[in-house]
Amino acid sequence: MTRTRYGASPWLDEVAKTRRFNFPRFRGRASYPVIIIGGGLAGCLTAYAFAAAGVKVALVEADRLGQGGTSRGPGILQGEAGPSYRDVEDRLGRKAARALFAASRRAVLDLATTARRLGVKSIATCDAVRVLASYTLDEKAFVRELTLRRQVGLDAIGLKAAVAVGESGMETARAAVKLADWGTVHPYQLLMAFVGAATKRGAAIFERSAVRGVKSHSKDVEVQVEGGTLTAETVIVCTGEPTALYRSLKRHVRFDERYVVMTEPVPAALRAQIGARARVMTDTEAPPHFIQWTETGRVIIAGADHPRTTPRVREKVLVQRTGQLMYELSRLYPAISGIMPASGWDMPVATTTDGVMYAGPHRNYPRHLFAWGTRHDPAQAFLASRILLRNYLGTPDRHDAFFAFTR
């Protein structure tokens, strides 16, 4: 029997070490118009966006590119600005909510188009199904969410129980809504394609170059890095969440861990028995599950969100949460209750108060731009890169302000 591998995402294992990038450490002094801090998807996609626009840019990463939260995601593109349209509308108003969700949906399609042009073969767009599968949840709230989406012109198709069961394969489905323009991708392969394209366009990349301090001056920003000093007109912070460098901004997000499990391949006979037509699913549980059926017959399930754990108990909690997710998966699909988890890992998640990412400037940090709270969703990272570029060029979209700290 194959043993479950804990703590390591399989995305990295699927890319040979000889094919991974190995960029130098930064040494000495240098100046660039733009410096990006953070080598995850948001940082690397932003480096590509700026380099493609002809802006000279350098990216510094404390460790190795894409080996933090980027390589620990479930590989799902969400065409959603937040977990609930209704909640976002209640907080920010209808105009803002509609713009946020429409932009997030377009980002999936735009990312897929750009990624295919750069040679990414693993990316695919598809409809997703959000399932009401628990009798403890309010069906009226589910219907209200669907109604609000329809009222503002967002693609959302309500499915009654029989159709919901057929789409999701979940026998307990009471209803569902089909959501347009989600997708799947191998996140590390995606990052590699954008990094390669960025460097071909002149972007400078430095790995193992941790930032120790940032000082804003009247005409530039000084970035103190292990091994030297960089200066820039603008610093873009794409670290996924506020770090010790920007401690005062930690109040804007909640720090959690999300857990992800990839199963062993499900036999074809069992897949046929389940009969799920949708490739990507989520549900209305709190916290929700995100489920992907891969082309190799495996199931990836993410969820069981939990406040950040300490290193001392992290391994124990990971084993427990992996078992919990497998149990919850077996409740959704009883037929696969005997399938074993191949891998179980965790991913850091920083969630804003309203669930919508931040992308743009902050009044307390001149010559800075930020991208935080993307949930390690490649589509949100792509959208953030476009917002940041427009802001830098002084050509913001009229809806970019809805992603700002001041919204």
Among 50-59, 115-124, 132-141, 213-222, the range scoring the smallest mean pLDDT is 132-141
Coil/strand/helix, residue 343: strand
In-domain check, residue 260: yes
- Residues whose CB is less than 8 angstroms from the CB of residue 219 and which lie 6 or more positions away in sequence, other chains included: none
In-domain check, residue 87: no
pLDDT at 2: 75
Question: Same domain for 243 and 279?
Answer: no
Residues in the chain: 407
Q: Mean pLDDT throughout 164-169?
A: 96
CA 170 to chain centre: 25
Question: Same domain for 243 and 261?
Answer: no
Within 10 A of 63 (CB to CB), how many other CB atoms are there? 12
Question: Same domain for 274 and 234?
Answer: no
Is there a contact between 386 and 42 (Cβ–Cβ < 8 Å)? Answer: no
Is there a contact between 301 and 261 (Cβ–Cβ < 8 Å)? Answer: yes
Question: Same domain for 264 and 375?
Answer: no
In-domain check, residue 361: yes
Q: pTM of the prediction?
A: 0.96
Question: Same domain for 199 and 238?
Answer: yes
Phi, psi of 129 (to 5 degrees): -125, 125
pLDDT at 49 over 80: yes
In-domain check, residue 314: yes
Within 10 A of 97 (CB to CB), how many other CB atoms are there? 27
pLDDT at 94: 98
pLDDT at 134: 74
pLDDT at 183: 98
Last residue of a domain, one of 309, 329, 352: 352
pLDDT at 139: 87
Gap between the terminal Cα atoms of the chain: 52
In-domain check, residue 111: no
pLDDT at 63 over 80: yes
Q: Mean pLDDT throughout 15-24?
A: 93
Select from 227, 195, 246 the least CA-distant residue to 30: 227
Give me Rg for the CA atoms of the chain. Answer: 21
Question: Same domain for 230 and 319?
Answer: no
In-domain check, residue 262: yes
Give the residue numbers spanning the domain of 241. 5-73+188-252+355-403
Question: Same domain for 210 and 309?
Answer: no
Question: Same domain for 291 and 348?
Answer: yes
Interval 189-215: pLDDT, tens: 999 999 999 999 999 999 999 999 999
pLDDT class of 133 with cuts at 50, 70, 90:
confident
Q: Mean pLDDT throughout 274-289?
A: 94
pLDDT at 137: 67
Distances (CA, A) of 1 to 328, 339, 341: 22, 11, 11
- Rounded to whole angstroms, the Cα distance separating 407 from 390 reads 18
In-domain check, residue 103: no
CATH number, domain containing residue 223: 3.50.50.60
Is there a contact between 185 and 77 (Cβ–Cβ < 8 Å)? Answer: yes
pLDDT at 135 over 70: no
Question: Same domain for 263 and 339?
Answer: yes
Interval 327-344: pLDDT, tens: 999 999 999 999 999 999
CATH number, domain containing residue 297: 3.30.9.10
pLDDT class of 136 with cuts at 50, 70, 90:
low
Is there a contact between 37 and 211 (Cβ–Cβ < 8 Å)? Answer: yes
In-domain check, residue 282: yes
Q: Mean pLDDT throughout 20-43?
A: 98
What tokens does 348 get? 């850091």
Question: Same domain for 224 and 345?
Answer: no
pLDDT at 358: 98
Q: Mean pLDDT throughout 300-325?
A: 97
> Tokens 């990463």 identify what position?
61
Please compute, for residue 71, the number of CA atoms within 13 A of its CA located in the half-sphere on the CB side: 19
Question: Same domain for 176 and 198?
Answer: no
pLDDT at 379: 99
Q: How many domains does the chain have?
A: 2
What value does the mean pLDDT of the chain take? 96
Last residue of a domain, one of 352, 368, 394: 352
> Tokens 């959603």 identify what position?
80
- Between 383 and 137, the more confident residue is 383
pLDDT at 164 over 80: yes
pLDDT at 322 over 80: yes
Please compute, for residue 151, the number of CA atoms within 13 A of its CA located in the half-sphere on the CB side: 12
Interval 210-243: pLDDT, tens: 999 999 999 999 999 999 999 999 999 999 999 9
What tokens does 126 get? 């598809």
Q: Mean pLDDT throughout 7-35?
A: 95
Question: Same domain for 300 and 339?
Answer: yes
Q: Mean pLDDT throughout 351-361?
A: 97
